Structure 1
Amino acid sequence: MKRHQPKFSQSQVVELMQRLYRLTPSEIHSLPSYKDQNFYVAASEGGEYVLKILNSQDSKNPALTDVQMSAMSFLHQNGFPTQTARPTFTGQLISQEEIDCGYGCQTYLVLLLTYLPGNTISKISVTPQLLYEIGKMAAKVDIMLQELEHPHLSVLQRDNYIWNLSNTPLLEAYIDILDGEPLQKVVTSVIHQYQTSVTPKRCNFRKCTIHADLSDLNILVQPDESGGHRISGIIDFGGMNSGYFIYELAISIMFMMLEHQTPIEVGGLVLAGWESVFPLNESEKDCLYVLVLSCFCQSLLLSRYNVSQNPENEEYLMSTSKNGIRIVHQLWELGKEEVEKVWFQTAAQFNDEDKHERRYSGSE
């Protein structure tokens, strides 16, 4: 089923804001999106918002969107910097709008979310401390999500969702799009490694609900008093699914590697933050290397495929490819033993230093 990305005009956004929310936009500009359409909207009545219009395929599952918004609200209530939804003037959090965006009349789900200030991770130089905090935050988000209650939580069991890491073997159907590039051989080998080394151990992974997309574009930061940055926002819950804790860690490591001059070191720093909250078991440790590679292959392959379907959004869709291909080759050439040595030694050293500093400062 082809997914149609909505193409609402600014005048249509003005009409939606006035009709649904009784707000008059004083400023509107588009925001990047992988598959939906997002607009920044400042209202004359006060307040800054993101008007989110879901693609035609995801708009067919309002129950999933409702769970995602409940998760955002639940995390916000528990101190996490997430967006919350503003209801329409009739009290609905989701509005269904029928419009022709060039593909015939389609129904699109419309949400109005609070706007969170800050820059994405992709726009700053990440420090070891920030990478540590990102790992820590990712673990805390997943732990908190285990307490989420909703009558339709079962919709998160997205077994056929291609972005679910459990479906890594299904990437074989997309390999031909690489058309003989050197990357094709690596991706084929990674899929084989997943089937032989990860699938047999998956029964030992600890299950949970995961955000599944804590990327360099979905974590916002602001400057802090020490001259570094603090996490100021977690956005885009569209990938939420029932998965495993280790998946969230692998996804976070993969995306943070894209933004670092020495990407191999990144895994240990994110891992240190994660394990300060939620230590891995032996099976999870043993599979982390292949899972991070699987994340890269998934992102690179599916982005390339989606560009073939939506060439007008190529710049955003291919944002991973700029550094991703180089990092995949580097990870693969170094090999599991060497990469794990760097990751686990870095994590142990960072956590030892952190404990020492806290003990010295009297905070422990």
Structure 2
Amino acid sequence: MGNNKHNCVLCADNAIPVDPRPAFSLQQATKLTLHHYGLTVTEISTLPSYMDQNFLVMDEEGHKYVLKIMNSEESQNTTLLGLQTFIMSFLRCHGVPTQIVVPTTSGQLMMMEEKDCGHGAQTYCVRLMTYLPGKTITQSPVTTQDLYHVGKLAATIDLSLQQLVSPNLDVLQRDGVIWSLLNIPLVESYLSVMDGDPLQDVVKAVIEQYKSHVQPKINSFQKGIIHGDLSDQNILVIPVDNKHHEVSGVLDFSLLKNGFHVYELAVTIMYVMLENSRPLDVGGAVLAGWESIMLLNNDERDSLFLLVLSRFCQSLVYGRYNAKIYPDNKKYLLTTAKSGTRLLNKLWELGKKEVEKKWFTDASTFSVD
């Protein structure tokens, strides 16, 4: 649950790092839940994750929870993890359906567990969170009206976060995070994983256009705290009346950072396109919802197409790179690749002018039921 991307897994020198992933058994996770939270687990199963471990647990009373065990690298930054937990609570107070972190029996919102998962003793951050109902947005036949509300919610999150007050906000200055759209040129260091694949030429061309067309405009982008990863795996929806869906959960705040709002929008559009039966209709609907809360300026509008393509490039290249290091999690790591390769090729073939025309026309003529 949660497409948790990890900025330290990818090493610029292509060296394979010590595996930071936790490897707790179902039995060990059950014991953790009883020992630290006083809950007797009657059912437990694993949930998919990029670099962490997530367990779906049910107690004797039928209440569901997610036991989240962070990878050892991110577990070291307790200030950041504490702020992420605080922000989830803050956003819930602002009407965003986030998980609630359940305190341990001693009142802690997170605890550290030391374990040897095969690479020497490492420390892992453990949190128990409430379970949110719903299916991921890619598993649901969402309408353009639903996507309008996804865009509106994404902008609402960023707007709400502008009101956040905390002495620890400096830890969100994470410009080195490799998944940030600020760092598109870093993709070049991993392009060898695409050798022999014609897609490599498209990725190279997108990076060059990013450098020449987007980088010069960055200083005019509107800045603030962003979720950073409103992906298809991190947005849950439930069906409501008239075949529509509403967002029932926003997951995974591990890429929370100070960033640019247009990056949030681009990431959302890119991931929501992945399994949509009419992917070219996604951009205008999400954009219309976004701009009902927060208007883009001219430079942001002019960069949106390349930012969406840039995220495709990051996801496809880094996914393939990580799949080579962690072949046991290959299926999950290459989730984007299934339709992402086809979509990146299609968008590149159509070109900036044609795609933008559709997105912006759809957005300007969008009518909400």
Q: Return the TM-score normalized by structure 1.
A: 0.95
How far residue 227 of structure 1 moved from its aligned partner, in angstroms, is 2.7
Counterpart check, 1:138 vs 2:154:
yes
Which structure 1 segments of 5+ residues have no match? 358-364
How far residue 84 of structure 1 moved from its aligned partner, in angstroms, is 1.1
Contact conserved, 2:52 with 2:69, CA < 8 A, in 1? yes
**1-side partners of 2:155 and 2:141: how far apart?**
22
After superposition, give the CA deviation of every residue in 1:124-159 in whole Å (9 maximum; x if it has no partner).
112111111111110001100111222211111112
Contact conserved, 1:164 with 1:241, CA < 8 A, in 2? no
Counterpart check, 1:17 vs 2:39:
no
The letter for the 1-side match of 2:153 is M
Counterpart in the other structure of 2:118: 102
Matches within 5 A, 1:105-184: 105-184=121-200
How far residue 104 of structure 1 moved from its aligned partner, in angstroms, is 1.3
Counterpart check, 1:324 vs 2:340:
yes
The letter for the 2-side match of 1:27 is E
Counterpart check, 1:48 vs 2:64:
yes
After superposition, give the CA deviation of every residue in 1:7-34 in whole Å (9 maximum; x if it has no partner).
1001101111111111111110100111
Counterpart check, 1:340 vs 2:362:
no
Counterpart in the other structure of 2:267: 251
How far residue 225 of structure 1 moved from its aligned partner, in angstroms, is 2.3
Counterpart in the other structure of 1:361: none
* Runs of 4 or more consecutive aligned structure 1 residues displaced over 6 Å after TM superposition: none
How far residue 262 of structure 1 moved from its aligned partner, in angstroms, is 2.3
Residue of 288, 292, 302 corresponding to 1:286: 302
Q: How many residue pairs were aligned? A: 353
Counterpart in the other structure of 1:277: 293
Contact conserved, 1:23 with 1:45, CA < 8 A, in 2? no
**1-side partners of 2:155 and 2:327: how far apart?**
35
Seq. identity, %: 52
Counterpart check, 1:193 vs 2:209:
yes
How far residue 78 of structure 1 moved from its aligned partner, in angstroms, is 1.5
**2-side partners of 1:225 and 1:343: how far apart?**
27
**2-side partners of 1:27 and 1:13: how far apart?**
11
How far residue 224 of structure 1 moved from its aligned partner, in angstroms, is 0.7
**1-side partners of 2:85 and 2:102: how far apart?**
11
After superposition, give the CA deviation of every residue in 1:314-341 in whole Å (9 maximum; x if it has no partner).
1111111100000000111111101100
How far residue 180 of structure 1 moved from its aligned partner, in angstroms, is 2.5
Contact conserved, 1:303 with 1:318, CA < 8 A, in 2? yes
Counterpart in the other structure of 1:314: 330
Contact conserved, 2:71 with 2:124, CA < 8 A, in 1? yes
* RCO comparison, higher one (Cα < 8 Å, 6+): 2
SS at match of 1:80: coil
The letter for the 1-side match of 2:80 is L
When the two chains are superposed, the root-mean-square deviation of aligned CA atoms in Å is: 1.1
Contact conserved, 2:137 with 2:235, CA < 8 A, in 1? yes
Counterpart in the other structure of 1:214: 230
Counterpart in the other structure of 1:71: 87
Counterpart in the other structure of 1:362: none
**1-side partners of 2:68 and 2:284: how far apart?**
35
SS at match of 1:226: helix
How far residue 45 of structure 1 moved from its aligned partner, in angstroms, is 4.8
**1-side partners of 2:233 and 2:157: how far apart?**
17
After superposition, give the CA deviation of every residue in 1:253-302 in whole Å (9 maximum; x if it has no partner).
00011021221221111111111111110000000010000010011111
SS at match of 2:242: coil
Counterpart in the other structure of 2:311: 295
**2-side partners of 1:92 and 1:186: how far apart?**
48
CA 1:249/1:2 → structure 2, altered by over 3 Å: closer, same or farther? Answer: farther
Counterpart in the other structure of 1:7: 23
Counterpart check, 1:86 vs 2:114:
no
**2-side partners of 1:262 and 1:47: how far apart?**
37
SS at match of 2:156: helix
Counterpart in the other structure of 2:10: none
SS at match of 2:259: strand
**2-side partners of 1:265 and 1:111: how far apart?**
38
Contact conserved, 2:138 with 2:276, CA < 8 A, in 1? no
How far residue 3 of structure 1 moved from its aligned partner, in angstroms, is 4.5
Counterpart in the other structure of 2:13: none
Counterpart in the other structure of 1:59: 75
Contact conserved, 2:19 with 2:119, CA < 8 A, in 1? no
The letter for the 1-side match of 2:271 is F
Counterpart in the other structure of 2:14: none
